[in-house]
Chain A
Amino acid sequence: MTSPEIKIIPRNTYLLVWGVLMFLLLLNFGLAEIRLGPFNLVVSLAVAFIQTLLMLLYLMHARYDSGLTRLFVIVGFVWLLIMFDLVLSDYLTRGGVPSTLRDSWKHGAWPAATNNFPAGFSTNGR
């Protein structure tokens, strides 16, 4: 039940992490001004992800904690993933069964899934 002595992280580590975080903020700010098309989203979220990781691991000491604590760190995010995954499984497949698909058993054709979800939004999905 007792844990080894609490690890005290040197101040310089905190300062270094802060420096990196601020650099990432500037990077994110700067890249948002440049047109990267769909990659703007990817870059912004990737930077936010790295910042989150740095804060969890170093500022919140997850790196130095016991396995149990680390499990508790992860579990909330895993559940978030479950929620996203299953809700999106609905939204990304909305639009009902296309008529071609409904008759597909007759001639063995399996057309590509159609994704007209914004339209299906207001029309009761069918």
Chain B
Amino acid sequence: MADAHPTLAEQFDDLPQQRNAALLGMWTFLATEVLFFGGLFLSYTIYRHAYYEAFEEAGRHVKILYGSINTALLLTSSLTMSLAIHSAQVGQQRLLVRFLRLTIFLGICFLVVKGMEYKSDIDEHFVPGARFEHGLPAQAQIFWFLYWIMTGVHSLHLLVGIGLLVVITWMARKGRFSEHYNNPVVISGLYWHFVDVIWVWLYALFYLVNRN
């Protein structure tokens, strides 16, 4: 233990053990995230089954252009995140920082587009409540309630992801990572990809399936 690697925490014997523990920890956390969103996906399923027509009518008012642009942005950010991990694994410090920054940038772009979409939703009174008047059935408000909660919680996750990557970028600039030690990059990458996976489903459920 005396000649242990400086990045090895005292409770671990060697770097692979530490790496495996970190990976397993993140996957466990992602399993909790699946169930965290799970209750909402379940609610969506039940209410869409019950109020099929109302959901269809409500779904026509969601702005598909914003949603599609955002999907493309997130998918691309997943690519840059993967490339960042690759750079860390082969020890290319500058490329790592560059890809991380690109990922953060794409994440911010997503939030900006989402913000614009939210603004137009508010302007057109698609917020459930007293001012929700569109001649839509009452159950359409359930659709919009789920829309706000689910995309809102997702955006919050993305915000956390951006915060995480800012810290990782800062660490990368300090030269903390090498081909031997890059757990934090890999772990944050898993989280980032997962937020992306959630969005793919949100995109399908809110923007696509109710269009016809």
Are A and B part of the same complex? yes
* Residues of A that sit less than 8 Å from B by CB: 1-3, 6, 8-9, 11, 14-15, 17-18, 21-22, 25, 28-29, 32-37, 40-41, 44-45, 47-48, 51-52, 55-56, 59-60, 65-66, 68-69, 72-73, 75-77, 79-80, 83-84, 87-88, 91, 117-118, 121
Q: How far is the CB of A22 from chain B (nearest CB, A)?
A: 6
How many residue pairs bridge A and B at CB < 8 Å?
A: 136
B72-86 at interface with A (beta carbon < 8 Å): 72, 75-76, 78-79, 81-83, 86
Per the bound structure, the CA–CA distance linking A17 and B75 in Å amounts to: 10
Selected A-B contacts with CB under 8 Å, 12 pairs: A29-B68, A29-B208, A32-B64, A32-B208, A32-B211, A41-B209, A51-B200, A55-B193, A55-B196, A76-B35, A80-B41, A84-B45
Q: Which secondary structure dominates where chain B touches chain A? A: helix
Given A2-B14, A83-B42, also A18-B34 (CB < 8 A): no
Chain A residues lying within 8 Å of B204, measured Cβ to Cβ, are 28, 44-45, 47-48
Question: In the bound complex, do residue A14 and residue B82 qualify as a contact, i.e. CB atoms below 8 Å apart?
Answer: yes
Q: Is the CB of B201 within 8 A of A14?
A: no
Choose one: B20, B32, B71, B189; the contact of A76 (CB below 8 Å): B32
B124: interface (CB < 8 Å): no
Known contacts A11-B83, A121-B50; is-contact A40 B201 (Cβ 8 Å)? no
**In the complex, what's the smallest C-beta–C-beta distance from B210 to chain A, in angstroms?**
9
Q: Chain A residue with minimal CB distance to B207?
A: A32
What CA separation (Å) do A77 and B164 show in the bound complex?
25
Point out the residue from B31, B33, B68, B200 that lies within 8 Å of A72, measured CB to CB: B31
Chain B residues with CB below 8 A from A41, complex form: 209
Say whether, besides A60-B190, A79-B34, A87 and B208 are in contact (CB < 8 Å): no
Give the secondary structure class of A's interface: helix
Sample of 9 more A-B contacts, CB < 8 Å, known A52-B201, A76-B32, A84-B42: A14-B86, A15-B79, A18-B79, A21-B75, A22-B72, A48-B200, A76-B30, A77-B34, A83-B39
Once the chains bind, are B83 and A14 in contact (CB under 8 Å)?
Answer: yes
4 cross-chain pairs, A with B, having the tightest CB-CB distances, nearest first: A76-B31, A76-B34, A18-B79, A32-B208
A11-B83, A65-B23, A84-B45 as given contacts; A52 in contact with B28, CB under 8 Å = no
User: Using an 8 Å CB-CB cutoff, how does the interface string of B163-196 with A read, 1 for contact, 0 for none?
Assistant: 0000000000000000000000000011001101
Chain B residues in the interface with A (C-beta under 8 A): 13-14, 16-17, 19-20, 23-24, 27-28, 30-35, 38-39, 41-42, 45-46, 49-51, 64, 68, 71-72, 75-76, 78-79, 81-83, 86, 89-90, 189-190, 193-194, 196-197, 200-201, 203-204, 207-209, 211-212
